[in-house]
Amino acid sequence: MAIFTGAGVAIITPFNEDDTVNYEEFGRIIDDQIANSTDAIIVCGTTGESSTMPDEEHVSVIKYCVDKVAGRVPVIAGTGSNCTREAVNMSKKAEEVGADGLLCVTPYYNKCTQDGLYEYYKAISDAVNIPIIMYNVPSRTGTTIQPETAVRIAKEVKNVVAIKEASGNISAVAKLASLANGCIDIYSGNDDQVLPILSLGGKGVISVWSHVAPKKVHDMVYAFLDGDIETAQKLQLEAIDVIGALFCEVNPIPVKAAMNMLGYKAGTVRAPLTELTDAHKEVLKKALKDYGVL
Encode pLDDT of 204-235 as tens digits: 999 999 999 999 999 999 999 999 999 999 99
* Cβ 101 vs Cβ 133: under 8 Å: yes
Q: Write the Ramachandran bin of 37: left for phi over 0, alpha for psi from -120 to 50, otherwise beta.
A: left
Average pLDDT, integer, range 25-31 = 98
On the question of pLDDT at 155 being above 90, the answer is: yes
Active-site residue, selected from the candidate residues 63, 68, 93, 164: 164
Please tell me whether the overall predicted TM-score, pTM, comes out greater than 0.85 for this model: yes
Each residue's pLDDT tens digit, 135-144: 999 999 999 9
Mean pLDDT of the chain: 98
pLDDT in tens, 87-133: 999 999 999 999 999 999 999 999 999 999 999 999 999 999 999 99
Q: Give the distance from CA 19 to its chain's centroid.
A: 22
Q: Does the active-site annotation cover 135?
A: yes
Nearest to 15 by CA among 275, 271, 273, 270: 270
Catalytic hit among 64, 118, 121, 135: 135
* Pairwise CA distance, residues 182 & 197, whole Å: 14
The reply to whether 63 belongs to the active site is no
Is the pLDDT reported for residue 1 higher than 70? no
Give the tens place of pLDDT for each residue, 252-272: 999 999 999 999 999 999 999
Q: Using pLDDT thresholds of 50, 70 and 90, give the confidence band for residue 2.
A: confident
In the chain the domains, ranked by start, together with CATH numbers, are: 6-226 (3.20.20.70)
